[in-house]
A and B are shown apart, each in its own frame.
Chain A
Amino acid sequence: MKRLLIGLSVAAALLLSAPALHAYLKLGARIGDRVITLRWSQQPIRYFITNRDDDFVNADQLRQAVGRAFGSWNAVSSANTSSQFAGFTNALPFSDDGVFVIGFLSFENRPDLDNTLGATTFEQDDVTGQVIAADIFFNAGFNWSAASGGLPGRFDLESVGVHEIGHLYGLGHSALGETELVNAGTANEGRRVLGKRAVMFPIAYPTGNIEDRTPEADDIAGISDLYPASGFSAQSGAISGKVTLNGSGVFGAHVVAFNSTNGAMVGAFTLSTQGDFAMIGLKPGVYVVRVEPLDDGDIDSFFDEDNPVNTNFRVAYYNKLVTVPAGGSSGSIEIKVQAK
């Protein structure tokens, strides 16, 4: 067995540069020359809660918040996911024990985690890629809240839990958000959320906010793709195509489909040097499709460092409305962008 650590962070300001990160819409693990989609083959997922209190949240409040966070994903009608609380444990997350543990952790000598609210790690079979175990930690260096309405000055445990459990189920980061740089050029440089529309956006809302407790359309499309409920494929559709710049494919472009009927947005990335993308789990209808460079978060939180992500192009729209049929695809579209 080989332990693969996938550090998936939610940061208040600055993101962790995560090692060995393979974040697509779906997470993947590189096994040899293959990338295997991270997916739980057996459910319910059984998890333990570390029996250790935080300064503001005790272990039982953590259990309840985590239970509600699991419940938010498990309530998605177009996906089949389930979970089960297995009990309290003295084990800590991030320990190579083959058991799925969720708990608080303190990091005395990890300045790289100073701005990380939480993370999810996986233990996978290095031959088959099958998930053996996982852990989720919440950084005890922050002030947490498990209150139903949130509390000023404290991060909402349930919201961050929903994000981390999204990773646990295999979702990567979404780029459906806008940020701005703060404290640029200083040691405290980071990004502040201006707005977002996905629980899986890598940067959290500030303290006191509880908006991330409910998966959005982008999150729902992703979880439904990984664990489709009966009839999901027949009832939803897809948009596929490529993004090109001067005739060449663009890697790492963020493509967003907007359904003006219900206001829903679903995003995807171009994942090849040919600029290919595929966006699935869309409600049948007519869409406006927009493409933008990945400039609202550290690229490391979306892709491996060795991927040639191109951010040197302007925002553009596909020149037609895109029709998404039930159980089918739009047919390949080409979105042409121009360099900045």
Chain B
Amino acid sequence: MRRAVSIAIAALACALGATPAWAQTTAKPTQTTAKPAPRGPRGYEFSVAGTWVGPTSFGTSSANLLTPAGANLTLFSTKNDLRPGYGFEMHLSKRVTPRFALEGSGTITHATLRSQVTVDFEDAPDVEVTESLNRFTVTGAALWTLATRGRASYFIRGSAGWLRELVGDGALIEDGIAGDAGAGFKYMKSGTGRRRIGFRVEGRLEMRHSGVTLGEDKLRMSPVISGGLIIGF
């Protein structure tokens, strides 16, 4: 397991670099007894999945006045987060070696930005204010098959790419960097002719930087779960 992870990370690093180093060497099977994951005859897979994105905390932020002594006098405080969202994602992957595949992925998710306003200096009641957010990501990913059991296979995956977030019906557009790392499970049923179908379930830890934020602009993380259909061809 440890070796497989290190190879997957190396492959991801190569995929991000200017030169596709993976293409310059002949991929060799690693020391394992597992069989290659079943795919379509040409090594392609296309998958469509529903996605759930967990909450992302943006921390707290206060509207501070400055006292004569140089201290903060809080007019009100906000606790900010991105509420759990949902959407769908698509992946097109190409097998490079029996275990290693590259993917191009796109996701569209919808969630809600939220600020909980508290401790108003003039005792206004606490309020919760929100706005909808739509996120689009385009990423490149490396996928490594850890093991295959019959029609099922287990994989780990890492990605990096670009994100765009739209708030307020697209009034505000912010771009940023997105990436994730996770693991999943695929099950391919027998297909007819040149196609195979199956399903794919995975869990990831999503990382993002920039884009729309409520609070300090820094690396944010949230869990992602997705599940959907695969067509192998």
Contact = CB atoms under 8 A, between A and B. Distances in A.
B216 A261 contact: yes
Assign chain B's interface to a size class: 35 or more
Contact of A260 (B171, B172, B214): B214
A290 B64 contact: no
A324 B131 CA distance: 12
A209 interface: yes
A196 B131 contact: no
Contacts of A325: 168, 171-173
B127 interface: yes
A265 interface: yes
Nearest to A319: B129
A322 B130 CA distance: 9
A193 to B, nearest CB: 6
Nearest to A212: B66
A228 interface: no
Contact of B73 (A178, A316, A317): A178
Assign chain A's interface to a size class: 35 or more
Given A178-B73, A292-B122, A317-B117, A209 B63 contact: no
A256 B130 CA distance: 17
A320 B131 contact: yes
B214 A178 contact: no
B68 A315 contact: no
Contact of A261 (B68, B121, B123, B215): B215
B78 A178 contact: no
A206 interface: yes
B88 interface: no
B97 interface: no
A206 B172 contact: no
A288 B80 CA distance: 11
B137 interface: no
Contacts of B215: 260-261
A269 interface: no
B67 A286 contact: no
B61 interface: yes
B122 A323 contact: no
B145 to A, nearest CB: 41
B63 A323 contact: no
A3 interface: no
A284 B213 CA distance: 11
Contact of A263 (B64, B68, B73): B64
Interface in A72-129: none
A325 B169 CA distance: 11
Given A286-B172, A319-B129, A321-B130, 13 more contacts: A177-B65, A178-B65, A195-B64, A211-B66, A260-B58, A260-B61, A263-B63, A263-B64, A285-B172, A286-B212, A320-B130, A321-B167, A328-B171
Ranked nearest first, the 3 interchain pairs of A and B with the lowest CB-CB distance are: A195-B65, A323-B168, A195-B73
Interface of B: 58, 61-68, 70, 72-73, 75-76, 78, 80, 113, 115, 117, 120-124, 127, 129-131, 167-168, 171-173, 212-217
9 contacts: A178-B121, A196-B66, A211-B70, A258-B75, A263-B64, A265-B75, A284-B172, A285-B172, A324-B172
